Amino acid sequence: MIPEFDWGVFLSEPWNSYQIETTMKIVGMGFLVSAACGWIGVFLIVRRMALIGDAISHSVLPGIVLAAMLFHTLSGPWIIIGAGLAGFLTTVFIEWIQKHSRIKSDAAIGIVFTSLFALGIVMVSQMKGSVHLDADCVLFGNLAEVATRNGDFILPPNMIQAAIVLGLTILLSLMFYKELLVSSFDPILARSIGIRAGLVHYGKMAWLSVIVVTAFEAVGSVIVIAMLIIPGATALLLSDKLRVALVLSLVHALLSSVIGYHLALWLNSNIPAAMVVAGLLLFGLAWVFSPSQGIIPVWMARRDFSERIALSRSGRK
């Protein structure tokens, strides 16, 4: 079932001169996608909106399919507009249901995103034409194909788009760092210094939709959730500082892409899923060994503390 572990195949072969270009492209695409997801994921996690990320990553599907039906492409501005619109509508619907009925936010999220996702799947199942978009793509993504596709430039078009999106994500969040920080942690202060929290929220949701749609063709619309949450969660286990956590989420994205690619080569499996599993392993390591919150350091600190208490008691006697 599991292929024999061969260090040569597993580690060195992808980096020899014949395969290095493919490796670089696939790992690079994986990194670009999960870095952008992880970066915005940090902001989602600190606002406790991880599951809104889940909802949006599902509910952009009808927007993507509609744009793909009309414009016969899975990259470029139309698909981003379609997905941004779907993401915006999701947020509006969720708030609308909450406002006009007694249904609480979690159930409202559940109703809206499953309905939109179901609509998207029905549209996918009826789709015929030049664009390669089917249920498999939604569930698994096809990272390898997307990353090695030929375009007008040296790099494949999706990769250029992902790079631009990552760059803009970092640039925008640094430009509006103060707004994001204050509206994340202190909405009242935000209002008093003239930051419109609602505007920041909708802007963030729209940009999240853009990131999700960029990742869509490479990793599908379910695996994106893992890429949104796991890097940020790992980073926030290791540091309490937002800036440090943001950098750590990039490190996590890089490591999980590289390790995941090797894992996929060894197991002969789906690449994005392997990257998620690698990310999950890194999260597990941080969970066990994180200096401030890890299971072992916390356990050791508690043991030292109780020993000290025992010592001071015996000393007093």
Partner 1 sequence: MVVNWWSSERRIPVSNCYWIVAIVFLLAAPSAFAARIGDLSETTVLEQAARFFTFQDPAVRMALIGCILLGICCGLLGTFIVVRQFALVGDTLAHAVLPGIALGYLWSLEKAPLPLFIGAVAAGIIGAVVVSLIRQTTKTKRDSALGIVLGGFYGVGILLISIIQERYPRDVAGLKSFLFGSAAALNESDVWMIGIITVVSVVILVLFYGQFKVVSFDGVYARSIGISAQFFHYLLMLLLAWAVVAALQAVGVVLVSAMLIIPAATAYLLTDRLHWMLLLSTCFGILVAAVGAFLSFLGPNLPTGPFIVLTASAVFLLVFAFAPRHGLVSRWWRRLKQTRQITRENSLKAIYHLQEAGGFAEEWITIEKLSEQRHRSAEETQQEVTSLVKHGLVLRDGNRLQFSPTGKSRAAEIVRNHRLWELYLTDRANIAPDHVHDDAEKIEHILGEETIRRMEESLNLPAVDPHGSQIPQVKKEVTS
State how far the Cα of 37 lies from the Cα of 53, in Å rounded to an integer: 10
**Least distance to partner 1, CB of residue 5, Å:** 14
Among 16, 19, 192, 269, which residue sits at the site for partner 1 (rule: CB under 8 A)? 269
CA 258 to chain centre: 16
Query: Per-residue x/- mask for partner 1, residues 232 to 251, rule CB under 8 A?
Result: xx--xx--------------
Residue whose CB is less far from partner 1, 196 or 243: 243
CA separation (Å) from 310 to 66, 179, 300?
A: 68, 49, 15
Q: Residue with structure tokens 């927007």?
A: 63
Binding segment (CB under 8 A) for partner 1, from list 42-50, 147-155, 189-197, 210-218: 42-50
Query: Using the rule CB under 8 A, is 103 a contact of partner 1?
Result: yes
State how far the Cα of 230 lies from the Cα of 228, in Å rounded to an integer: 6
Residue whose CB is less far from partner 1, 87 or 163: 87
- What is the torsion angle, in degrees rounded to the nearest 10, for the CA atoms of residue 280, residue 281, residue 284 and residue 290? -110
Amino acid in the structure at residue 290: S
Residue whose CB is less far from partner 1, 163 or 232: 232
Among 10, 78, 88, 140, which residue sits at the site for partner 1 (rule: CB under 8 A)? 140
Query: Using the rule CB under 8 A, is 33 a contact of partner 1?
Result: no
Sign of CA pseudo-dihedral 157, 161, 162, 166:
positive
How many positions of this chain bind partner 1 (CB under 8 A)? 62
Rounded (to 5) percent helix, strand, coil in the chain: 80, 0, 20
CA separation (Å) from 183 to 109, 261, 301?
A: 22, 37, 34
Residue whose C-alpha is closest to residue 214's, from 168, 252, 282: 168
Contact 58, 117 (CB under 8 A): yes
Among 111, 131, 170, 206, which residue sits at the site for partner 1 (rule: CB under 8 A)? 111
Query: Using the rule CB under 8 A, is 280 a contact of partner 1?
Result: yes
Binding segment (CB under 8 A) for partner 1, from list 12-20, 83-91, 163-171, 274-282: 274-282
The residues that touch partner 1, with contacts defined as CB under 8 A, are 1-2, 45, 48-51, 53-54, 58, 97, 100-104, 106-107, 109-111, 114-115, 117-119, 121-122, 125, 135, 139-140, 222-223, 225-230, 232-233, 236-237, 267-270, 272-277, 279-280, 283, 287, 290, 293, 295, 298
